[in-house]
Amino acid sequence: MRSAVGLCLLTALVHVTVVFLAVAPPNSLSQRYDQQINAWVYPLFEQNWRLFAPNPDSVNRQVLARTAHTAPDGTMRVGPWFDLTAADRVAVEHHAFPSHTAQNLLRRAWSSYVETHGADDTARSKRAEMMRKYLSNIAADRAADHDRGRRFGFIQLRVVTRPIAAPGASGDRPPAPVENRLLPWWKVTSHGA
């Protein structure tokens, strides 16, 4: 029992110290251990000021995914597109206390991907590569849940961005997409039977 409490206290102390080094002004210690600090902090423990100065989205993003696998005859079998954003919305919509993760995991993963990759989908740093893997892992896990055991080894995302309609705007049609971004196929850990 004492060793478990001691381990928890040690883990908490290490966590607080590493997060402090991540948010503190650059110093010799944080610069020396930058790679280890970033590996611990990003993407799960990232610190920002959005709670105090929120910057609400001015667009709606719809993230769609499709999977593929190589058939025994060597051909590529591609599945249909399905809406990851709609699945998130359903998980949150009628839940009295939806988790922050259910509401923001996919959206924040996409935002971090765009920040680190730009418009050409090229990773220019280790953090960018980590954000690509993070986004592809989220999509692959959700695709595995959606496909209920269907095998796949590749995933592709498409992100449709639409402006948010002005308050009081009438009309039954949603706003026209301002961006329809198709990402390259990514190899993922094999999922399914």
Count of H-run helices and E-run strands, the chain? 6, 6
Query: 94 to each of 1, 22, 35, 88, 97, how far by Cα in Å?
Result: 40, 37, 41, 11, 9
What's the pLDDT at 65?
94
110 vs 90, residue with greater confidence: 110
Q: How many CA atoms lie within 13 A of 77 on its CB side?
A: 10
DSSP 85-104: HHHHHHHHHT-SS--HHHHH
Alpha-helical regions (H) of 42-172: 84-93, 100-117, 126-147
The DSSP H or E segment spanning 35 is helix 34-41
What's the pLDDT at 177?
65
Least confident range of 2-6, 64-68, 164-168: 164-168
What's the pLDDT at 134?
92
Q: What distance in Å separates the CA atoms of residue 128 and residue 71, rounded to the nearest whole number?
A: 31
Q: What distance in Å separates the CA atoms of residue 127 and residue 133, rounded to the nearest whole number?
A: 10
Q: What distance in Å separates the CA atoms of residue 19 and residue 24, rounded to the nearest whole number?
A: 8
Asked if residue 168 has pLDDT above 90, the reply is no
Torsion over CA of 165, 55, 177 and 89, rounded to 10 degrees?
Answer: -80
Neighbours of 65 (CB within 10 A): 24
What is the rounded average pLDDT of the residues 149-164?
Answer: 87
pTM of the model: 0.67
Residue pLDDT, tens place only, 38-84: 888 876 776 666 556 556 667 888 999 999 988 888 888 898 999 99
What's the pLDDT at 40?
83
Asked if residue 98 has pLDDT above 80, the reply is no
Query: 59 to each of 7, 15, 75, 174, how far by Cα in Å?
Result: 44, 35, 38, 12
Residue 62, strand partner residues: 160
